[in-house]
Structure 1
């Protein structure tokens, strides 16, 4: 596994999600050491940083509306982090497996499908 993020970048993600206010999404993390997948949690100010960031293989961010999708997408693009769009919203990668290419999240590789969230 190759580390892609550091404490500063994870903290930028945490603060960006927290600052979205009522559009702040839920997230869950996968622990790179134990394989533990956390429950969905919407509290970014304290919970996300408990235990530090070194064991986060990835954080998946769940969005539930077009407005939330766009706000999260724009925030992730601003922070400039490695990841991908998922069925729930987004995944920010903390580590990459050897030989696996990872792209950075931008509005160009995260378009909003016209029928997503029942909006179209």
Structure 2
């Protein structure tokens, strides 16, 4: 993996401690349960990652994560006849990530935590 990172010229913007902090923070969010999806080193670029709710056991090895997206929109099922209740937790999760100095950007409706960047990659980290 280290040779791949060097060959591709990737720059790490997260470390093990920050990944563990992010995981612990999201595990504490049992009420909000934000889903996540990750794109890892050597994943096929045309493959769309699946959303997952399990912050305990399903995360890939931190060293392999290029980015991890968090969906801040919480859906609460209210039955067959009523539409799902949607709650936007963007401001709350953004503040949480900023407070703990976790580098992220806003990509559409998702919060994208970056593990690696390519040199010259234009990303507005918050």
Higher strand share: 2
Residue in structure 1 matched with residue 51 of structure 2 by the alignment? 40
Q: Secondary structure at the match of 1:14?
A: helix
Q: How many residue pairs get matched?
A: 102
Structure whose CA Rg is larger: 2
TM normalised by structure 1 equals 0.74
- Quick one: distance in 2 between partners of 1:24 and 1:77? 19
TM normalised by structure 2 equals 0.71
Gaps of at least 5 residues in structure 1 are: 106-120
- Quick one: distance in 2 between partners of 1:73 and 1:44? 18
Task: Establish whether residue 77 from structure 1 lines up as the match of residue 98 from structure 2.
Answer: yes
- Quick one: distance in 2 between partners of 1:96 and 1:44? 23
Q: Pick from 23, 26, 50: which aligns with 2:32?
A: 23
Q: Secondary structure at the match of 1:21?
A: coil
Task: Establish whether residue 8 from structure 1 lines up as the match of residue 17 from structure 2.
Answer: yes
Q: Pick from 115, 121, 126: which aligns with 1:94?
A: 115
How far off is 1:87 after superposition? 1.4
- Quick one: distance in 2 between partners of 1:20 and 1:75? 11
- Quick one: distance in 2 between partners of 1:37 and 1:4? 23
Task: Establish whether residue 58 from structure 1 lines up as the match of residue 67 from structure 2.
Answer: yes
Residue in structure 1 matched with residue 7 of structure 2 by the alignment? none
